[in-house]
Chains A and B, each alone.
Chain A
Amino acid sequence: MPDGATPFVLDVKDLKTVFRTRGGEVHAVNDVSFTLKPGELLGVVGESGSGKSVTMMSLIRLLPMPPAEIRGGQVMFEGQDLARVPEETMRAIRGARIGMVFQDPMTSLNPVFTVGYQLMEPLRKHMGMDKRAAANRAVELLELVGIPDARRRLGDYPHQFSGGMRQRVMIAIALACDPKVLIADEPTTALDVTIQAQILELIKDLRQKLGMAIVWITHDLGVIAGIADRVMVMYGGQVVEQAPVRELFANPQHPYTRMLLETVPHIKGARAEKLRVIQGQPPILAKAPESCPFMARCPQAFDRCAAQNPARYDVGNGHDAACFWDFKTGAPRDV
């Protein structure tokens, strides 16, 4: 490996994003760090407001600033720190080297342009293709994501496609410039389960064909279990646990993750008479946390949790958890 190179396509360290609103500050992302290996699929879970979207939007600088302010951190991608490159460089990376897919294809596709135009635009802008080459590539891309009769459909507008097909089009646009990293923010949340199953199959297939790395945000633990290689759990603007997917589900080490896994009902197997409840509400992020963000809802909490915000402790097997309690020894962590 050459000097300064890393085994990661993306290496994020201590990212910190704050919103300055009239009601005061919102500390949406607090010292978030994670890495992404080539070809890897990282699943990101956490409840609403836990900072999943803002984290990913911060690293490609796609937030309204103000009110958003990136207070610190480093985002290494292809040898550059994206937190520091000029906006011009960022524009060349966004949508080209890093592709994006969002939850609602109707708001991210422009209703007044044809799907063909929206596919060809990044190809012409970022790849310098002429019209004919771009059109041919656009057809290829639509075929890749499984849209039948692709050449004819280039002239159709977004409303002429069903929800599932629009999401396929969004994926095709995100893939247009052959990105190294794809960021997918709840891309199947608005879809029906049978259509979601089609999209998940498509993603598995595309990963094999194209080998890009993917960050997949979702609140659906079932989706994560099906497609992720590694999972990062967020709570209150922080990463509270991170592990390879099987390890996380088999052996969760953070109280939030443990309760979350118990609170969801299953479609097969034993059926609990009563659902496990996580009492209380997520934290208000008015200032940088001085205690554990899960403290108010944590059955395991003890005095230290109020005095300090836990660091992410390595628990082995590529697994870490931000908690002072050690479930393996059944005692407070000795650190």
Chain B
Amino acid sequence: MFDTSNAKKLVEVRDLKMHFPIRSGLLRRVTGAVKAVDGVSFDIYEGETLGLVGESGCGKSTCGRAVLRLYEPTGGSIKLDGEEIAHAPFDKLRRLRPKMQMVFQDPQASLNPRMTVAGIIGEPLSEHSDMNAKARLERIYELMDAVGLNRDFANRYPHEFSGGQRQRIGIARALALNPKFIVCDEPIAALDVSIQAQVVNLLEELQAKLGLTYLFISHDLSMVRHIADRVAVMYLGKVAELAPRDGLYDEPLHPYTQALLSAVPEPDPTLHDEANRIILQGDVPSPANPPEGCNFCTRCPKVMDICRKIDPEFREVKPGRFVACHLYAEDTNQTAANAAEPVGA
């Protein structure tokens, strides 16, 4: 497993906030904010894959986009390779763009239907490099080889490809400028199970070959267990828990992580009988109006009085293991510690 002890931090995110204004009334005045990402901190080490999981609307995509500066963040700091970019001006960003890229969920929607495959893959090269046409075509072929697309398809259009092949086109495009860091936002969610493995294996091979660093956003917890070195679990705009992969899956600490993992149905009928599922009641609150205190307090099976008043701090409770929960507060009393026993233990 990935060793962080002597690895370099490629991405450092501190207290990142991305709030979207809510406008209402005739004058479209700002009357509130959707706190899509609300104070998130994590590091991504060079060469690792950080998985980012959580339910729909918890802020995963917004977080990934903000880290790439596709948004102007409301607050916080983002360092890429040591350079502060959270509020960097346009020309500095333009210089840094090639280092960081994105692969999107829906390969259909993210590719321009009127451009050929060569046009799509070559577009970033025309924008960010002064290669001549011949060198560019060479590079396009090289990229097509790298992602396993037949060179003969260079002049075809996206609709002539299957979903898995379209995702390969998206990956080839993301690789065009030799990035160091790629945000993969649900890159396999739109693909069939039998095709998902093809794309995930490709991402892993490219990582090994090119030393890439990934932020892998997904709601598929089993696939994240396969691909990620460390995993961050988001709930309602915040990171609830961040841990090395095996630690997180074997012994989740945060009550939300525990519930989330226990809700995943295993493809094995014999495991379902003994599954000790935690069924969460109710729905996720709106990020425009998050509850006071811990944002999970409305659904948490272990909620305490303090949880409804004070927002728990996100802190390292064991080496490499970060949790935002009062059960792990330094002054934890005995009852709270007992309540924190992992499920099925």
Contacts and interface: CB of A to CB of B under 8 A. Distances in A.
Contacts of A265: 222-223, 225-226
Interface in A171-204: 192-198, 200-201
A222 B158 CA distance: 32
A93 to B, nearest CB: 32
Most buried by A among B226, B275, B284: B226
B41 to A, nearest CB: 24
A287 to B, nearest CB: 20
Given A195-B283, A268-B249, A277-B197, A222 B264 contact: yes
B268 interface: yes
Contacts of B192: 47-48, 219, 282
A208 interface: no
Nearest to B161: A281
Contacts, number: 120
Contacts of A48: 192
B110 interface: no
Q: Would you call the interface of chain B mostly helix, strand, loop, or mixed?
A: helix
A262 to B, nearest CB: 9
B267 A221 contact: yes
Given A219-B193, A246-B270, A274 B201 contact: yes
Contacts of B265: 196-197, 200, 220, 222-223, 225-226
A260 interface: yes
A278 B164 CA distance: 12
Contacts of A278: 194, 197
Given A225-B272, A267-B225, A274-B201, A193 B264 contact: yes
A264 B222 contact: yes
Contacts of A327: none
A157 interface: no
B279 A198 contact: yes
Given A194-B55, A222-B266, A263 B193 contact: yes
B221 A193 contact: yes
Given A193-B55, A194-B55, A196-B263, A267 B268 contact: no
A276 interface: yes
B135 interface: no
A321 interface: no
A194 B280 contact: yes
A266 to B, nearest CB: 6
B259 A194 contact: yes
Given A162-B283, A271-B226, A193 B266 contact: no
Contacts of A219: 192-193
A276 B197 contact: yes
A56 B281 CA distance: 32
Interface string B43-55: 0000000000001
Contact of B260 (A162, A193, A281): A193
A200 B275 CA distance: 13
A88 to B, nearest CB: 39
Most buried by A among B222, B264, B269, B284: B269
B345 to A, nearest CB: 14
A164 B283 contact: yes
Nearest to B299: A194
B200 interface: yes
A162 B56 CA distance: 12
B271 A268 contact: yes
A312 B226 CA distance: 35
B280 A268 contact: no
Interface in A242-261: 245-246, 249, 259-261
Given A267-B266, A268-B266, A281-B162, A192 B219 contact: yes
A220 B219 CA distance: 14
A200 B194 CA distance: 24
A249 B267 contact: yes
B201 A275 contact: yes
A304 B288 CA distance: 62
Given A267-B261, A271-B226, 19 more contacts: A47-B193, A164-B283, A165-B283, A193-B263, A194-B263, A197-B265, A221-B193, A222-B266, A225-B266, A226-B275, A245-B269, A246-B270, A264-B267, A265-B223, A266-B267, A274-B201, A277-B197, A277-B198, A279-B198
Interface of B: 55-56, 162, 164, 192-194, 196-198, 200-201, 204, 219, 221-223, 225-226, 249, 259-261, 263-272, 275, 277, 279-281, 283-284
12 contacts: A192-B284, A193-B260, A196-B263, A197-B277, A265-B225, A266-B267, A267-B222, A267-B225, A271-B225, A276-B197, A278-B197, A281-B164
